[in-house]
Amino acid sequence: MAPMGIRLSPLGVAVFALLTVGVLYHFYSGFLAGKIAIFRKMPGSDRIDLREMLALSVEAAVRGGEEVKRVMEEGELHGKIKGKTKEGADEILTNGDLQSHQKMYHLIKNTFPSIQVYSEEHDTGNVPEIVPWDHVIPKEILDKITTTEEAFSDSITVWIDPLDATQEYSEKLLQYVTTMVCVAVNGKPIIGVIHKPFADFTAWAMVHGGSNVSLRKSYNENNPKVIISRSHTGTGKAFAQKAFGNDTEIREAGGAGYKVLSLLNIADEKQPDHADVYLHVTNIKKWDICAGNAVLEALGGQMTTLQGNTIDYTNSELNEGGILASIGVSHKILLDKMPDLKSVKTQ
């Protein structure tokens, strides 16, 4: 009952109730909107278009390649030994590696700051100003990949090799030199870019998307031509001969990217060597192989360890157990021919 002398109008009560509801609605809607905005800005919660990621990867590899060429043309390599591999081989570092790293790494990180990027090299000194990417996807990519997928940024790991085949670069064996970018999603290689700066050629592919390269019409599964590292010729040759026979034709080459391209249908002037199988018998870093792995996967090929294990590209840098890469043949049949690496003696 209302106090003595005060009469409540039904209309007044209704208006008061409506005003109360309105205030509460605006309060809670603003509160919830704030909560949702905070959630959207949480690291790793943003979604990235993978076709856009491919275009950025191509741009990064090409910009890195421009630096690699520029340093060579100016004769300012300043090569030095930065360490040794587990097998005791020298690891060489040149100014080309460093300049390419800065352009590639910071272009990707500036464009998508929340993704994880692993590079073979690290910044030393001041980083030059990086021209931003314009987010334009080239027509070649749009024509071949008409639809795309998205991935959360925290599921993406990018592996870049600013200069693959540094040893050969320092020896001016420039046909082996590549710059590479790989995009892995939840540890699986999805996008691969292998750029040959001295041949003005770029191979790219996206798993379940498309590619600008293709496999050859035929491969020899029974007596394959095998390509191995020129840095580990003894063990690699002995391993290949034990797997496929003493008469096996073996090609020695530099650079993991180059050796993957030897498995594909690429003109001789762009890719001098051609092979059926790529073998590597020692430990190898993932920035050396991730791009090639993605390209092969996109074309129906495979890259595994010599024991047939898939390679995870989530975080750890080292791949142990060697690699076997193939396309157009039965990977399982090849794996069945692999001998125990410990049983192979270095020649």
What are the tens digits of pLDDT across the range 231-267? 866 689 999 999 999 999 999 999 999 999 999 999 9
Give kind and range of the element (H or E) at residue 141: helix 139-144
Strands (E), 213-343: 226-229, 250-253, 277-280, 284-285, 302-304, 318-319, 323-326
Give the pLDDT of residue 122. Answer: 86
User: In this model, does residue 346 exceed pLDDT 70?
Assistant: no
* Structure token pair of residue 161: 């090799």
Cα–Cα dist 163/171, whole Å: 14
Least confidently predicted of 23-27, 66-70, 90-94, 169-173: 23-27
Residue whose token pair is 């003005």: 200
Least confidently predicted of 39-43, 73-77, 88-92, 209-213: 39-43
> pLDDT tens, 192-236?
999 999 999 999 999 999 999 999 999 999 999 999 999 866 689
Cα–Cα dist 198/161, whole Å: 16
Of residues 94, 157, 166, 304, which has the active-site annotation? Answer: 166
Q: Which amino acid is at 49?
A: D
> pLDDT tens, 120-175?
998 877 888 899 999 999 999 999 999 989 999 999 999 999 999 999 999 999 99
Give the pLDDT of residue 35. Answer: 42
The sign of the dihedral angle between the CA atoms of 88, 181, 211, 298 is positive
Phi then psi dihedrals of residue 107, to 5 deg: -60, -45
Give kind and range of the element (H or E) at residue 150: strand 150-152
Q: Do 140 and 206 meet the contact criterion of CB atoms below 8 Å apart?
A: no
* Structure token pair of residue 164: 């693959």
> pLDDT tens, 6-57?
455 665 555 565 666 554 555 444 444 444 333 344 556 699 999 999 999 9
Q: Please indicate whether residue 97 is annotated as part of the active site.
A: yes
Alpha-carbon distance values, 17 to 11, 28, 30 (Å): 10, 17, 20
Cα–Cα dist 265/289, whole Å: 19
Percent helix, strand and coil across the chain, each to the nearest 5: 35, 20, 40
Give the pLDDT of residue 84. Answer: 57
pLDDT tier, 315 (very low <50, low <70, confident <90, very high otherwise): confident
Give the pLDDT of residue 60. Answer: 98
Q: Please indicate whether residue 166 is annotated as part of the active site.
A: yes
> pLDDT tens, 273-311?
999 999 999 999 999 999 999 999 999 999 999 999 999
Alpha-carbon distance values, 221 to 187, 263, 327 (Å): 29, 13, 10
Checking DSSP bridges between strand 323-326 and strand 80-84, what pairing results, if any?
Answer: unpaired
pTM of the full predicted structure? Answer: 0.85
Of residues 97, 161, 164, 288, which has the active-site annotation? Answer: 97
- Paired strand residues for 151: 48
Q: Which amino acid is at 6?
A: I
Alpha-carbon distance values, 136 to 67, 73, 131, 156, 191 (Å): 22, 30, 14, 21, 17
Alpha-carbon distance values, 10 to 18, 94, 259 (Å): 12, 86, 86
Cα–Cα dist 173/259, whole Å: 14
